[in-house]
């Protein structure tokens, strides 16, 4: 449904007299299948939004190629526009308009007749449980309601692909759960959904497949389960007093149950197959090596660990 | 066909929002009426004309052109609010004509300006202004062209600068010399030669001369067709440029 090869974009920003070129997206290859929820996970500034805006025809790529919903992005952006929906991060409704007015106008911009637009608006309002507020001005809506109107606006012309840029950012946990249900419903209706997020739980719970993006590049792709499996097993974090990390590393590095070891200022991080059986062995080894132990923590792999393994940084830090 | 339909859709929405908040009519008419009441009485002695009617014949067309210029130049503020709300981006992912995004908005501006102009003309009739209806309609055409041009310019600049803080000083800087060099408040017949020479390069001074000729009932004056042609050409250029700004990627 979406296929990109070497998609690139850089921006020139000016700082005083000096021009600075920022490579926002440095060659992205993507293959998104029909009918899946595909996620783009990465920290702010990773290039997720820029990639999404390129795929939605809002900015022109500097290089590479892409086919979106069967149309060539560079040669025929007009056809891409007819086949996709796009929901921006910052909202898209006007304070003094009502949800119904916005939906009818949006539908008609795709060439739909007024009577058909009206009935479609009603159908979508019902689907998103918005009928009750449909004729009130958008400025009276709650954050979650307004977000649902945004999504409704993005899909009212029945696109085959819909791009959602950080659809749950700024929502409270309840609205977020509600939004996840709405997004799953879009998949049930046959749409391919492409979302960006910097929430690990969201990527894990919602996406069929995802790509992790950092610094303008894709660092890993796959199903959440496969990605976690790929970094092999559990992680044990051992917190140590200053200076003790090096000794601990020496003691543990040779242990047969440790697959991989990382030394940090405040301790070591051990990658093991099974954390529950490894912990007693670790304790014993540290004791034998006379290493003063601070804390110990077992950690089943999360997408954050995948991110950490691929980039050397944690996604949670920002 | 698609362009007409799309323009109609955008225009309809913009008018709907405008009429929902009719305060603008009051605001838009209040200031010009103050000019009519508090400034125009100075003109009879200052211009050394014989009657109030004659003074209004000179002043009212200038006032209307002033409204068209200023009204248009400050429309960009509304667009910046729309940019911030994400409305423009939402339109840009649809197949809607980019020219229609501009024209639908500019036409609303033209319509609201003409509404203002009609109210002011009617009020001026109370002050003994007399103008032949056919000529008045031509004068309104001139105003429509000015307003189309200035609002298109304002939208184009708004899309470039994307911030009210930058737009306000920019538009004021443009508007002030345009105002002074167009003979709007007082005719430039009083100006020294060098000043008239500079004003000849201000297209709006041609528009003011043309509109005044129409209010005088002097259809044969070359000022009329010259003013209309200059404004029409500039309006087309402004519209083409601003529509390209709508098509360009907006971040």
Residues B120-149 have pLDDT tens digits of 999 888 888 888 888 999 999 999 999 999
**Residue-level pLDDT at B249:** 58
CA A24 to CA A29: how far, in whole Å? Answer: 15
Which residues of chain A are within 8 Å of residue B88 when distances are taken between CB atoms? none
**Residue-level pLDDT at A232:** 62
**Using 50, 70 and 90 to split pLDDT, how confident is the model at B251?**
very low
Please tell me the class of the A2-228 domain: alpha beta
Q: Which of A114, A84, A72 is nearest to B95 (CA)?
A: A84
> Is A159 in the B-facing interface, judged by CB distances under 8 Å?
no
Are the CB atoms for B77 and B158 separated by under 8 Å? yes
Which residues of chain A are within 8 Å of residue B91 when distances are taken between CB atoms? 109
Contact A97 B92 (CB under 8 A): no
Q: Which residues contact A113 (CB under 8 A, 6 or more apart)?
A: none
- Which residue in B has a C-alpha nearest to residue A55's C-alpha? B93
- Which residue in B has a C-alpha nearest to residue A76's C-alpha? B95
| Four-residue CA torsion sign, B145, B146, B149, B150 | negative
**Residue-level pLDDT at B248:** 81
Partner residue opposite A94 with nearest CB, options B87, B93, B96: B87
A269 token code pair: 């991080």
Which residues of chain A are within 8 Å of residue B249 when distances are taken between CB atoms? 58-60
- Which residue in A has a C-alpha nearest to residue B12's C-alpha? A105
Contact B94 A57 (CB under 8 A): no
CA B56 to CA B61: how far, in whole Å? Answer: 8
**Residue-level pLDDT at B220:** 86
- Residue-by-residue pLDDT tens, chain A, 318 positions: 898 898 888 888 777 777 788 888 888 898 999 999 999 988 888 888 889 999 999 888 888 888 999 889 888 888 999 999 999 988 899 999 999 999 999 999 999 999 999 999 999 999 888 999 999 999 999 888 898 999 999 999 989 999 999 988 888 888 888 889 989 999 998 899 999 988 888 888 899 999 988 888 888 888 887 887 776 678 888 888 877 788 878 778 777 788 888 888 888 888 887 778 888 888 888 888 888 888 888 877 778 878 877 787 777 654
Which residues of chain B are within 8 Å of residue A85 when distances are taken between CB atoms? 93
Contact B94 A110 (CB under 8 A): yes
Contact A58 B93 (CB under 8 A): yes
Partner residue opposite A105 with nearest CB, options B2, B9, B85: B9
Output the CA angle B112-B116-B120, nearest 5 degrees.
Answer: 170
CATH code 3.30.70.980 region(s) in chain A: 232-300
Which residues of chain B are within 8 Å of residue A92 when distances are taken between CB atoms? 85-87, 89-90
> Is A45 in the B-facing interface, judged by CB distances under 8 Å?
no
Which residues of chain B are within 8 Å of residue A94 when distances are taken between CB atoms? 17, 82, 85, 87
> Is A82 in the B-facing interface, judged by CB distances under 8 Å?
yes
What are the b/e assignments for B221-233, b being 16+ CB within 10 Å?
Answer: bebbeebbebbee
> Is A118 in the B-facing interface, judged by CB distances under 8 Å?
no
- Which residue in A has a C-alpha nearest to residue B16's C-alpha? A97
**Using 50, 70 and 90 to split pLDDT, how confident is the model at B150?**
very high
Contact B89 A88 (CB under 8 A): yes
CA distance to partner chain B, nearest, from residue A316 (Å)? 27
Residue ranges of chain B whose CB lies within 8 Å of a chain A CB: 2, 6, 9, 13, 16-17, 20-21, 82, 84-87, 89-96, 249-251
- Which residue in A has a C-alpha nearest to residue B15's C-alpha? A97
- Which residue in B has a C-alpha nearest to residue A86's C-alpha? B93
Are the CB atoms for A270 and A235 separated by under 8 Å? yes
> Is A106 in the B-facing interface, judged by CB distances under 8 Å?
yes
Are the CB atoms for A148 and A176 separated by under 8 Å? no
Higher pLDDT, A113 or B46: A113
Residue A252, CB-side half-sphere exposure with 13 Å CA sphere: 33
Residue B90, CB-side half-sphere exposure with 13 Å CA sphere: 30
CA B47 to CA A19: how far, in whole Å? Answer: 56
Residue ranges of domains in chain B: 2-247
Which residues of chain B are within 8 Å of residue A13 when distances are taken between CB atoms? none
**Residue-level pLDDT at B100:** 94
**Residue-level pLDDT at A173:** 86
Contact A58 B249 (CB under 8 A): yes
- Which residue in A has a C-alpha nearest to residue B86's C-alpha? A92
What are the b/e assignments for A149-181, b being 16+ CB within 10 Å?
Answer: bbbbbbbbbbbbbbbbbbbbbebeeebbebbbe
Contact A88 B96 (CB under 8 A): no
CA A227 to CA A306: how far, in whole Å? Answer: 7
> Is A105 in the B-facing interface, judged by CB distances under 8 Å?
yes
- Which residue in A has a C-alpha nearest to residue B249's C-alpha? A59
Contact A94 B20 (CB under 8 A): no
> Is A107 in the B-facing interface, judged by CB distances under 8 Å?
no
| CATH code for the part of the protein at A232-300 | 3.30.70.980
Q: What percentage of chain B exceeds 70 in pLDDT?
A: 99
CA A18 to CA B93: how far, in whole Å? Answer: 33
**Residue-level pLDDT at A318:** 47
Contact A91 B13 (CB under 8 A): no
**Using 50, 70 and 90 to split pLDDT, how confident is the model at B64?**
very high
CA B209 to CA B177: how far, in whole Å? Answer: 17
For residue A300, CA distances in Å to A237, A257, A273 come to 11, 16, 10
Are the CB atoms for B57 and B215 separated by under 8 Å? yes
- Beta-sheet strands, E only, within A148-203: 161-165, 192-197
Partner residue opposite A92 with nearest CB, options B2, B9, B87: B87
Instruction: Report the predicted TM-score, pTM, of the whole model to 2 decimal places.
Output: 0.82
CA A59 to CA A100: how far, in whole Å? Answer: 29
What is the average per-residue pLDDT within B78-98?
A: 91
B205 token code pair: 């001074």
Are the CB atoms for A240 and A293 separated by under 8 Å? yes
Q: Which residues contact A96 (CB under 8 A, 6 or more apart)?
A: A137, A138, A139, B17, B20, B21
Write down the mean pLDDT value for chain B: 89
Contact B89 A92 (CB under 8 A): yes
């Amino acid at each position: 449904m979406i296929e990109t090869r070497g998609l690139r974009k850089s921006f020139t920003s000016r700082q005083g007299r000096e021009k600075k070129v920022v490579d926002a997206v440095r060659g992205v290859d993507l293959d998104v299948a029909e009918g899946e929820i595909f996620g783009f996970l990465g920290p702010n500034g990773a290039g997720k939004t820029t990639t999404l805006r390129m795929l939605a025809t809002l900015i022109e790529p500097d290089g590479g190629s892409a086919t979106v919903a069967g149309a060539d992005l560079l040669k025929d952006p007009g056809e891409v526009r007819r086949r996709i929906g796009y929901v921006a991060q910052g909202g898209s409704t006007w304070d003094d308009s009502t949800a119904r007015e916005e939906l009818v106008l949006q539908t008609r911009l795709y060439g739909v007749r007024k009577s058909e637009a009206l009935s479609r608006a009603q159908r979508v309002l019902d689907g998103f449980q918005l009928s009750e507020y449909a004729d009130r001005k958008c400025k009276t809506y709650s954050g979650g309601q307004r977000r649902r109107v945004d999504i409704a606006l993005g899909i009212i012309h029945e696109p085959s692909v819909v791009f959602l840029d950080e659809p749950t950012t700024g929502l409270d946990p309840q609205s977020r759960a509600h939004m996840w249900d709405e997004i799953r419903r879009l998949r049930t209706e046959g749409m391919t959904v492409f979302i960006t997020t910097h929430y690990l739980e969201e990527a894990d719970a919602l996406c069929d497949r995802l790509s992790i993006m950092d610094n303008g590049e894709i660092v890993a792709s796959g199903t959440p389960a496969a990605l976690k499996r790929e970094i092999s097993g559990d992680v044990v974090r051992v917190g140590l007093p200053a200076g003790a990390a090096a000794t601990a590393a020496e003691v543990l590095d040779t242990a047969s149950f440790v697959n991989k070891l990382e030394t940090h200022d405040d301790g070591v991080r051990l990658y093991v197959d099974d954390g529950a059986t490894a912990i007693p062995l670790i304790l014993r080894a540290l004791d034998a090596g006379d290493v003063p132990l601070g804390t110990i923590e077992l950690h089943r792999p999360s997408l954050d660990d995948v991110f950490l393994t691929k980039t050397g940084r944690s996604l949670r830090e920002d | 066909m698609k362009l007409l339909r799309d323009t109609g859709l955008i225009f309809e929405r913009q008018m709907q929002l405008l009429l929902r908040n009719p305060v603008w009519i009051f605001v838009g008419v209040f200031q010009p009426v103050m000019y009519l009441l508090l400034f125009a009485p100075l003109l009879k002695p200052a211009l050394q004309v014989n009657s109030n009617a004659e003074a209004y014949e000179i002043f009212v067309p200038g006032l209307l052109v002033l409204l068209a210029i200023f009204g248009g130049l400050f429309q960009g503020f509304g667009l910046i609010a729309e940019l911030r709300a994400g409305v423009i981006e939402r339109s840009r992912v649809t197949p809607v004509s980019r020219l229609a995004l501009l024209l639908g908005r500019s036409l609303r501006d033209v319509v609201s300006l003409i509404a203002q102009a009609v109210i002011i003309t009617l009020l001026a009739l109370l002050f003994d202004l007399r103008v032949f209806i056919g000529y008045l309609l031509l004068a309104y055409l001139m105003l429509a062209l000015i307003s189309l041009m200035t609002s298109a310019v304002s939208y184009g600049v708004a899309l470039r600068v994307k911030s009210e803080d930058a737009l306000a000083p920019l538009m004021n800087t443009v508007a002030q010399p345009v105002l002074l060099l167009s003979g709007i408040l007082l005719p430039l017949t009083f100006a020294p030669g060098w000043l008239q020479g500079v004003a000849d390069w201000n297209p709006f001074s041609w528009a003011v001369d043309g509109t005044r000729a129409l209010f005088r009932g002097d259809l044969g004056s070359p000022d009329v067709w010259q003013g209309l042609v200059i404004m029409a050409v500039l309006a087309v250029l402004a519209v083409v440029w601003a529509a390209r700004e709508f098509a360009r990627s907006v971040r």
